[in-house]
Structure 1
Amino acid sequence: MTDQPLDILVIGAHADDAEIGMGGTIAKHTAAGYKVGICDLTQAEMSSNGTVELRKREAAEASAVLGLYYRSNLMLPDRGLTLTKSHIDAVVAEIRRTRPRIVFAPYWVDRHPDHIAASHIAEEAVFNAKLRRYMPELPPVQVEQLIYYYINDTENVSLAVDISDYYETKRQSLMAYRSQFQSAVAGEEDRVSTPLTDRYIERVEARDALLGQSKSWLYAEAFAIKRPYPVDLF
């Protein structure tokens, strides 16, 4: 278990998913003293560029940039995430070890199948984590809210966070993943061009700027919820 319960646990299929979708929100909360952790489900061993060891170093660098309290990798199979008991139980155990107040997961619609699978696994795990007779070897955990972040396209936005003051931190966390986002050079050994190497960080920035525009913010990150978000006063 972590020394103290997390305020926020962000679940992603691969290292860099959380940074793409909500790096600014993470930075904003760690700066405010929140204990934020990221759980990467896979080692991204099927990525066209980079290696498992390199991705691990890049994730550590991004974690330092964001000021994370905790980061883990469950080493589930990349391109093999499935809504099976073993994968759900691995995330249930992680939730019970870290005891987060809020869990974030990828939005349930995405062009990458692993992101969709991670979303469904997280939803099942959050539900099962509160059941005291489910995996009774670990104490049950009641998560207050499951919130979904966008990695690629955005739709049905429910919540928005102003990240204008933290955008440079988000940018630096993304730039830590040089194997994924740095432009491929012709003839470079064991490296190929992908959509991620074609000005991807610029495209993320454009999306975040567009999301902020409706609120007259420089940058925003958007989120979706399935259950009503409780408020006392507006």
Structure 2
Amino acid sequence: MEENKLHILAFGAHADDVEIGMGGTIAKLTEEGKRIGICDLTDADLSSNGNVVLRKEEAARAGDILGVQVRASLGFPDRGLFLKEEYIQKVVEIIRKYKPQIVFAPYLEDRHPDHGNCARIVEEAVFSAGIKKYQTVGWNEPHRVKKMYFYMINGFHKPDFTIDITQMIEKKLAALRAYRSQFELTAQSVQTPLVNDYIETVEARERMFGKLVGVSYAEGFKTKVPLVLKHDLLGEE
């Protein structure tokens, strides 16, 4: 259905992954009128802080802040993201349902194994979604994604390209702060890296990426294939 079509579909292993890696880019594109969706592979049921119900509420608030049209969860087991055909098929169904032009996933190199495994599942699904004879339960019209890119969560890697989010940094930070159970230190919090100035660390990273390219804030991305410049090589608008 045409009304389902998205320009971009971003996958994460857990709610807040996408916001950490590319919340500013999403806010920027939705303000430009692009239709963006986020799909979390798990319900983050093993999170040290919060619970599934609370995390879903926080994810909905964060999505509203960023202006996304779709927020979905596939309910795969947290810490159970392995390369299984049943998982690939479910992701294929989401891709075929929303027909995105571009798909994003976490960068494969990350301290949390679920993030890299999420990327591997999504890569397989992007390929299979375009195969006419690859059948799933509900969505069998093939769809070829034009591009797949990778955002960073915990890592600080040399980006293959960046997107200026200077005007969107406050929206990104607001979306992250929507996850109070994850990033806010309280008397009841279990000590994790997330409750110890994690948002400030993400902000500092985006400031550093911005400095690399001459803007105040930028988000960095990785790609497996070279980019084609379609604008003036001298950077003129």
Aligned to 2:176: 174
Superposed, 1:1-234 pairs within 5 Å as 3-135=3-135, 137-185=139-187, 188=188, 191-234=189-232
Where does the alignment leave 5 or more consecutive residues of structure 2 unmatched? 233-237
Q: For 1:125 and 1:223, how far apart are their aligned partners in 2?
A: 20
CA 1:2 to 1:120, structure 2 compared with 1: closer, same or farther past 3 Å?
A: farther
Q: For 1:81 and 1:118, how far apart are their aligned partners in 2?
A: 7
SS of alignment partner, residue 156 of structure 2: coil
Kept in 2, the 8 Å contact 1:183–1:199? The answer is: no
Kept in 2, the 8 Å contact 1:159–1:223? The answer is: yes
| Shift of residue 227, structure 1, vs aligned partner | 1.6
2:174 alignment partner AA: Q
Q: Deviations over 1:52-71 (max 9, x none)?
A: 00000000100110000111
| Shift of residue 193, structure 1, vs aligned partner | 1.4
Q: For 2:99 and 2:93, how far apart are their aligned partners in 1?
A: 10
Q: For 1:108 and 1:194, how far apart are their aligned partners in 2?
A: 22
Give identity over the alignment, percent: 48
Q: Deviations over 1:140-187 (max 9, x none)?
A: 0010000000001122411100000000000000000000000132xx
| Shift of residue 216, structure 1, vs aligned partner | 1.9
SS of alignment partner, residue 3 of structure 2: coil
Q: For 1:144 and 1:183, how far apart are their aligned partners in 2?
A: 41
Kept in 2, the 8 Å contact 1:96–1:138? The answer is: yes
RMSD: 1.2
Q: How many residues in Structure 1 have an aligned counterpart in Structure 2? A: 230
Q: For 1:86 and 1:60, how far apart are their aligned partners in 2?
A: 26
TM-score relative to the length of structure 1 = 0.95
2:140 alignment partner AA: L
Q: Deviations over 1:24-46 (max 9, x none)?
A: 00000000000000000000000
Kept in 2, the 8 Å contact 1:145–1:229? The answer is: no
Kept in 2, the 8 Å contact 1:158–1:224? The answer is: yes
SS of alignment partner, residue 6 of structure 2: coil
Where does the alignment leave 5 or more consecutive residues of structure 1 unmatched? none
TM-score relative to the length of structure 2 = 0.94
Q: For 1:111 and 1:208, how far apart are their aligned partners in 2?
A: 19
